Structure 1
Amino acid sequence: MVDEALVDLTQDRTVLRTLYAPSAGAFAMVDVPGLPFAMLDGEGPPSQSAIGAAVRNLYTAIYVIRRQARERMGKSFVEAPVEVLYWAEDMRDLAAGNRENWHWRVQITLPVWSTAHSLRESVAEMRGELGASGAVRWEISVEGRCVQYLHIGQTSALPRIIERLYGEHLPKEGLEPDGPYHEIYLDDWNRVSENRRKIILRQPVRAMKQAESYSLLQSGGIS
């Protein structure tokens, strides 16, 4: 049974475009509704090797659900992008670049008809191909009000965009972070050149409670 409170992105193309195909080069406010995800958490420095291994395990874990979605949707099937969230118990560790204190989460949105049970069944079927990893789980995420920015180009430009987000845009709008920093990778980097990579930067926000500026440039950026 489909949870009627969830947004079906395969049917609501307006919400799909807003969340995953925004206009590039500008900060925009969006309201992110509840969406089902397969998630895998990690701790410590988010190295490319660690995150890469987590992404491979996550795709393997949801293989059966992806296969079912492809069969149901046929030519309309579109592979969901990889999303990574970053946070720290003390957000100053994020800004200071103390990566040993960071937490991160790799996640991929699932069809609205998926459930925790269907994910467990998929994991069980793929158990022989899964590498060593933490527990993959099904969870509904509701980020709510967010500021997001679509960047097209090399990842070396991200630190400046992040600095503008936390040091300029949020204070100017009277907003502050209200949840993990979030990156969405819209392309397969093995198939797209560095100059054409599309990355959405997303930050849940709330009205600012105190005059405090967040600067992540000091850490050399999140990515």
Structure 2
Amino acid sequence: MGTEPRRFDLTMLHAAYDAFRRDTAQLEAAAESDDVLAKTAVENTWALFRFHWHVQDVAEKRALWTVMYAKEPDPEPEQGGGGVGRRLGVVLEAMDLHALRVVPMMDGVDAALEQHDRAMFARYARDLRATVGTLLDFKESAVLPLIPDTLTAFEWGTFDVEFRGELGLRGLGVFLPWLLDGAPEPTRRAVLRLLPPPIRLAYRARWRPRYRRRNRPVGTTG
């Protein structure tokens, strides 16, 4: 993070991926505690993770991956590098395979919570963390670096529009405090710098305090 041209600032993507990692780690850890399936905190963490995962997934597919898939491959790959166009399809297909492995893990967590099956929850929470981590690691190492070389600045900008449209204005009031919950101070500062002053004020004065009261995920420390 921080090495891309400013017009391709990937700060929010990296922060969201870290938030997903945080939630899956908290869910796996919660499986070791007593009466975990009866805890509201677990249900809140799962609901927040599932909602934001869906929003992120839809926005990325519509505004990023679909557009990148449509790019014509380079007829003459760069010497030694393989060419972005030539390897783009292979990388995106590999990403799709990783993403498909996450789906049954999420379905399993849903079923375990619905059935109050602690052993099932522990198993799927562990596997969910592993599959989500693998997918996000692959995106950060193999897919995100291709964005500046594949998309135009305008195409990249449509992702923010798509994401905000999918999230909605009310959703932003939950998304920001969820995103920054427990985030390192450099990440917090980098994200807030991207936002206009009225949004920063709303986050500090209203959204973050409300989030802490209503939707405190497992294991947060404030």
Q: TM-score, normalized by length of structure 1? A: 0.24
Q: Considering Cα pairs closer than 8 Å and 6+ residues apart, tell me whether 1 or 2 has the greater RCO.
A: 2
- Computing the radius of gyration from Cα coordinates, the structure with the larger value is 2
Greater share of strand: 1
- Between Structure 1 and Structure 2, the one with more helix by share is 2
